[in-house]
Amino acid sequence: MLKKCKICKKGALTGKTVARKGQYKAKGGTGSKISRWSKRKFLPNLQKVRILVNGTPEKVFICAKCIKKGSYQKA
């Protein structure tokens, strides 16, 4: 099962975490430098909800934004 919102198709986004080293200028150093970065994922806030899909009840993943909007019909 895909981890995507059934209504708006929202899914995971990729990005980076940046690791810095060095003493800050305010503390008397030469400033912080980027030493390395690693990949990470930004995951959406998905909830498993029982809704009507084409007239039949199904358990699907819906993002919190769509739940707040009320853009679905409860089963």
Distance CA 55, CA 73 (A): 10
pTM of this prediction? 0.70
pLDDT of residue 42: 95
State which amino acid sits at residue 30: T
Distance CA 54, CA 49 (A): 15
Residue-wise pLDDT for 19-66, tens only, equals: 999 999 999 999 999 999 999 999 999 999 999 999 999 999 999 999
Give phi and psi for 30, each to the nearest 5. -95, 5
CA distance 61 to 10: 10
CB-based contact 6:53 (threshold 8 Å): yes
